[in-house]
Amino acid sequence: MQRPVFAPLGSAVTSQSCEVLTSFIEQAAGNLVCLTGAGCSTESGVPDYRSPEGSYAKGHRPMRHQDFTRDPAQRARYWARSLKGWRFFDAAHPNIAHRALAALQRRSYVAGVITQNVDRLHQAAGSNFVLDLHGRNDEVECLGCGQRRRRASLQEELEAVNSGWIKKHLMPGSMAATDVRADGDAHLAVQDFADFFVPHCGACGGVWMPRVVFFGGSLQPEVRDEAMRQVTDAHSLLILGSSCQVFSAYRLVKSAADAGQPVALVNIGETRVDSLVAPHLRLPFRCGDALSAVCGQLGIPVLNQ
């Protein structure tokens, strides 16, 4: 059974900043939409791209949509490396940021969550009305017939049909995830993946692809339109842990700012939308610290999981 606790004021968050953010949330009167990014999940150990410890800082080039869909060698590289990375991602649990946001939503302060993350940790923490802007990493879809299956079952199949490759290329104990990348793969000291077998769809022989938007890919039109509708209909927009560098996030913030909607930003480091946010609503704190401080201010219990 979950044990309710009252989160104390985050040590890194000043009382004044907590009051500013709390007031911002209260004034939205239950019509607040939150846009979340990697900064919400880093406290769960999920890597990001742009922080000093992120994938870009390690020289990682993310998988691009056209590379995955057109090049069998690139698909083999991705799936081989994901033998390590997937286990790590699948084992991640919601952190205080996810749980505090879910608590605010249960008390009707937050109307909906639009997330750039594909880890489904908001849902695991109890949030509802979550729009997965960039898809979800726990399912795969056939590019031929559209059939879907659990990502975990494909990962199990990959391990079964590549048992010889694993014995040849992965030393004992190396299946533990080290140097995990933000897009779900992990570093391997292997250059040639020609003998790595990638299963095809049993129904049509098509290509399995994670249900995520890789770099260079496009949002599903219905997801794009629903995100814009939610932001347009909201009283206020709260950005949590996103630099908003990708256009899919930037356009939502730009739309809200152009419409004169109040916009607040909780993020460590510079963002693409800093100029669109009033200085007093630009809060450079960890999402978990900021949201737990607000819950403490409002007397809202955050459930331990």
What single letter denotes the amino acid at residue 143? Answer: L
Q: Name residue, tokens 């742009």.
A: 50
Closest-CA residue to 223 (of 235, 211, 234, 215): 211
| Tokens coding 226 | 């629903």
Beta bridge pairs of residue 35? 114, 239
Q: Provide CB contacts within 8 A for 268, sequence distance 6+.
A: 39, 51, 284, 285, 286
Which class for 288: exposed (0-12), middle (13-18), buried (19 or more C-beta within 10 A)? buried
Active site residues: 134
Q: Name residue, tokens 């031929």.
A: 144
| Tokens coding 258 | 């152009």
DSSP state at residue 52: T
**Distance between CA atoms of residues 210 and 187, nearest Å:** 19
Helix spans in the chain (H)? 15-27, 65-70, 72-90, 96-106, 121-124, 151-161, 163-169, 221-233, 247-258, 287-298
